[in-house]
Amino acid sequence: MKHLEPYLEQLKKAGYKLTHQRLVILDYLLKSRDHPSADMIYEDLRRHYPTISLATVYNTLEVFSRIGLVVDVGAPGERRRFDGITSPHSHHFCQQCGRIEDAEFSGQDPAASPAAAPLPLHATRCRLDYFGLCAQCRAASAASTLTQTSHQS
**pLDDT given for residue 82 in this prediction:** 93
Q: Are 49 and 24 in contact (CB under 8 A)?
A: yes
- pLDDT digit string, tens, across residues 22-46: 999 999 999 998 899 999 999 999 9
Residue 102 phi, psi (nearest 5): -70, 130
Q: Is 8 helix (H, G, I), strand (E, B) or coil?
A: helix
Burial class (CB in 10 A: 0-12, 13-18, 19+), 20: exposed
Q: Is 138 helix (H, G, I), strand (E, B) or coil?
A: helix
Q: Are 84 and 30 in contact (CB under 8 A)?
A: yes
Query: Which domains are seen in the chain, by residue range?
Result: 1-84 (1.10.10.10), 87-153 (3.30.1490.190)
**pLDDT given for residue 15 in this prediction:** 94
Q: Name the E strands within 1-153.
A: 71-72, 82-83, 91-94, 100-102, 129-132
Write the Ramachandran bin of 149: left for phi over 0, alpha for psi from -120 to 50, otherwise beta.
Answer: alpha
- pLDDT digit string, tens, across residues 110-140: 666 655 556 667 767 777 888 999 999 999 9
Long-range contacts of 114-119 (CB under 8 A, 24+ apart): 114/88
Q: Are 69 and 7 in contact (CB under 8 A)?
A: yes
- Min mean pLDDT across 4-8, 60-64, 99-103, 120-124 is at 120-124
Whole-model pTM over 0.85:
no
What rounded mean pLDDT belongs to the chain? 85
pLDDT at 153 over 60: no
Residues of the chain with pLDDT > 70, as a percent, come to 80
pLDDT band (50, 70, 90) for residue 78: confident
Average pLDDT value for residue range 46-66: 96
Residue 70 phi, psi (nearest 5): -140, 160
- Min mean pLDDT across 56-70, 87-101, 115-129 is at 115-129
